[in-house]
Amino acid sequence: MNRFWTEVIEPLARAAQPKIMVEVGSDYGVGTEKLLGLCKSTGALLHVVDPVPKYDADEWSARWGDSLVFHRELSLDALPVIGAMDFVLLDGDHNWYTVRHELEVIYGQTVAAGHPFPLILLHDVGWPYGRRDLYYDPDTIPEEFQQPHAAIGILPDHSDLVPNRGMNGHHFNALSEGTPRNGVRTGIEDFINDHDDDFTFRVLPVFFGLGILYRTADLKDGPVQLVLDALSLSPGLEELLRRVERERVDLTVAHHERLANYEVSQARVASVERFIQNNQVALGELGNKLHQTRNELDQTRVELADTRGRLSAWESKISVRAAVKLERLVTTRAPHLASFIKKVARRVRQRVNHMRSAGVR
Ligand SMILES: C[S@@+](CC[C@H](N)C(=O)[O-])C[C@H]1O[C@@H](n2cnc3c(N)ncnc32)[C@H](O)[C@@H]1O
């Protein structure tokens, strides 16, 4: 949500001049720090709600003094004790039950108590959590409000989760998209439909979608309206932004998948490295055996070549003996073939001499 700071959050907050601001879902505190800077300069108070902040919230509370009240709690436990509020950022648990009830609690703390309804900015009203629940911790959501869910990834244009694909496979995601009581945007719409007040709900269709919600009568013709007007889009530009967001989402998903594959490869490399480390002695012995076997193989090759040479020499000797015998036989029994046989015998001798000079024994 902090990506909307410069163009949306800060101008709206300055125009609204809130006394009490609330941020639900702080994470690493990137947006929180910006809000606190603003509070310091305007004298506003910021309530931050996050059960698991990724920074030292006690140290931050000490550093920011009167500007910050930190609630290390779930939003539905913290919001009822905060009281009236003027400017709220909702970016905590992205599911129908939480958002629908956060809005109800805020309504109870403000309108029902005679205050204006605050200007509320809600993140993740677009894909993937506009129409699909995410549960940081399903045990914190009453069972009857939980969608069937699993820690499996999400892909655009796929209602079902897709194993080993997509993004946010480390979160508990609803198995299906677009069903009743499912998703952040559905929670906002159901809140609006369940109240008689006239609410305005606008969506900036970028960076997973930012919703802007207010009671129309509360902000009519004021400085906030001027900022909102400046953020208006023509239908053509809105459609263009939707397409840009879709391309950004596709690239983000591809990036997440590559990152996940890279992490799997890294884990495999680490496990092979561990295996090598744990089996260094055995692998060393295996290496020695391999070396020894290679030497034995080389030796066998030499012996084989030697045997081949001997065999070939024996073959030649046998041929020479046979030729001599044949020569004798023919000279005594068939003198008319003697000169032909002598020629053959000479050739055999020449071949044998040639082989001997070439080193064949
Ligand atoms: C998406 S991050 C918030 C990002 C932050 N707003 C920013 O712009 O940098 C969501 C945060 O909500 C917190 N969270 C989860 N469930 C919550 C709940 N029920 N109430 C309040 N915070 C919650 C998580 O601990 C996480 O730090």
168-199 pLDDT tens trace: 999 999 999 999 999 999 999 999 999 999 99
Q: Would you say the CB of residue 207 lies under 6 angstroms from ligand 1?
A: no
The mean pLDDT value for 129-144 works out to 98
The one-character DSSP state at 126 is S
Atom of ligand 1 nearest to the CA of 49: 21
Amino acid at 287: G
* Least confidently predicted of 16-25, 264-273, 306-315: 306-315
Q: Is the CB of 74 under 6 A from ligand 1?
A: yes
Question: pLDDT-derived band of residue 357, with 50, 70 and 90 as boundaries?
Answer: confident
Say if ligand 1 is within 6 A of residue 119 CB: no
Separation of 23 CA from ligand 1 center, angstroms?
9
More reliable by pLDDT, 62 or 264 = 62
Residue of higher predicted confidence among 75 and 267:
75
What pLDDT is recorded for position 157? 96
Q: Which of 170, 172, 173, 174 is nearest to 259 (CA)?
A: 170
Of 1, 27, 135, the one to substitute when testing ligand 1's pocket (max ligand atoms within 8 A of C-beta) is: 27
Proportion of the chain above pLDDT 70, given as a percent:
99
- Count CB-CB contacts under 10 A for residue 219: 20
Q: Tell me the β-bridge partners of 214.
A: 200
> Residue 351: is its pLDDT beyond 80?
no
Q: What is the pLDDT of residues 82-121, one digit of tens each?
A: 999 999 999 999 999 999 999 999 999 999 999 999 999 9
Q: Which residues contact 18 (CB under 8 A, 6 or more apart)?
A: 44, 85, 86, 87, 118, 119
**Which residues, at least 6 apart from 10, have a Cβ–Cβ distance to it below 8 Å?**
34, 38
pLDDT at site 114: 95
Find out if CATH 3.40.50.150 is the number for domain 2-232.
yes
Asked whether 124 lines ligand 1 (CB < 6 A), one says no
Collapsing DSSP to helix, strand or coil, 176 comes out as coil
Is 1 close to ligand 1, i.e. is its CB under 6 Å away?
yes
Mean pLDDT (whole number) for 151-164 = 96
Output the residue whose Cα is nearest ligand 1's atom 26: 27
Domain range annotation of the chain: 2-232, 280-357
52-66, 135-149, 208-222, 312-326: range with lowest mean pLDDT? 312-326
User: In this structure, how many other beta carbons lie within 10 angstroms of the beta carbon of residue 135?
Assistant: 22
Atom 11 of ligand 1, residue of closest alpha carbon: 25
- Calculate mean pLDDT across residues 292-310: 90
Residue whose CA is at the smallest distance from ligand 1 atom 27: 27
136 lines ligand 1 (CB under 6 A): yes
d(CA 174, CA 133): 5
User: Which pLDDT score is estimated for 361?
Assistant: 53
Range in 85-94, 150-159, 206-215, 327-336 the model is least confident about: 327-336
Which of 231, 196, 224, 229 is closest to 210 using CA atoms? 231
| d(CA 83, ligand 1 centre) in Å | 20
CA nearest ligand 1 atom 19, residue: 74
Burial class of 310 by CB neighbour count within 10 A (0 to 12, 13 to 18, 19+): exposed
114 in Cβ contact with 83 (< 8 Å)? no
Q: Which of 6, 52, 79 for a ligand 1 pocket mutation test, highest count of atoms within 8 Å of Cβ?
A: 52
